[in-house]
Amino acid sequence: MQIGVFDSGIGGEAVAARLRELLPQAHVVTAHDQPHMPYGSRSEDEVYRLTKAAIQPLLSAGCAAIVLACNTATAAAIEPLRTDYPDTAFVGLEPMIKPASAVSVTKTIVVCATPATLRSRRYQQLKRDWALGVTVIEPDCTVWAETIETHRADQVDLQAVVEAVRTHAADVVVLACTHYHWIKAQVESAVGPHVMVLEPSDAIAAQVRRLTAAAAHRG
């Protein structure tokens, strides 16, 4: 079975690599839109239009499922894409507000995300649904994706995250952009062993497995 993974830049490659480990029976192919990244500062309409254009090779390849390995693209485009292509299963990424809020003992979490994700209606809804009574700190990560995309991951400034953890006793950090998966180890080292750092690769694999198993059963 063929699985497609889309991201605006190299973040999706981290997700694809993890999917290949967890779903060895699947053939995982990728597509990106590096000429137009980062998506994080664009409008929802523009993100939808760019995403739709960029996934055409995955649709043409007959992918049974397409992972939008981009929180910004998921927030702006996944629902209209499901309408546009009802025969394709789309799996999106969402900031892990629900699991972070559930495991936080101090009831303070840090969400590292692009400006577009933080502005999105879906993100605001996730906070309303799952973060009642939880303090959500959103440090400025505006330049992170571009810094990582241009192979300067070691130059990402983590000071705002470290200060949030220390000042507010946050005990969970959510990496809400696939580019940030590349610096998970850096973040873990910076915030220390008592802070949990969450990213959704394993949850994505589980959802892909469920969708493809259901499709195979129907077939």
> CATH code at 141?
3.40.50.1860
For residues 28 and 74, membership in a common domain is answered with yes
**DSSP state, residue 116:** H
For residues 18 and 56, membership in a common domain is answered with yes
Query: Among positive and negative, which fits the CA dihedral 99, 29, 43, 78?
Result: negative
Tell me which residue range forms the domain holding 152: 97-198
For residues 188 and 103, membership in a common domain is answered with yes
Tell me, what's the pLDDT at 66?
95
- Which residues participate in catalysis according to the annotation? 70, 177
For residues 133 and 193, membership in a common domain is answered with yes
For residues 77 and 136, membership in a common domain is answered with no
For residues 105 and 69, membership in a common domain is answered with no
For residues 172 and 213, membership in a common domain is answered with no
For residues 164 and 105, membership in a common domain is answered with yes
Tell me, what's the pLDDT at 133?
95
Tell me, what's the pLDDT at 216?
59
Residues in the chain with pLDDT < 70? 214-219
Tell me, what's the pLDDT at 214?
65
CB 104 within 8 A of CB 210: no
For residues 132 and 73, membership in a common domain is answered with no
Cα–Cα distance for residue pair 64/137, rounded to 1 Å? 37
Number of domains in the chain: 2
For residues 83 and 114, membership in a common domain is answered with no
Cα–Cα distance for residue pair 219/214, rounded to 1 Å? 9
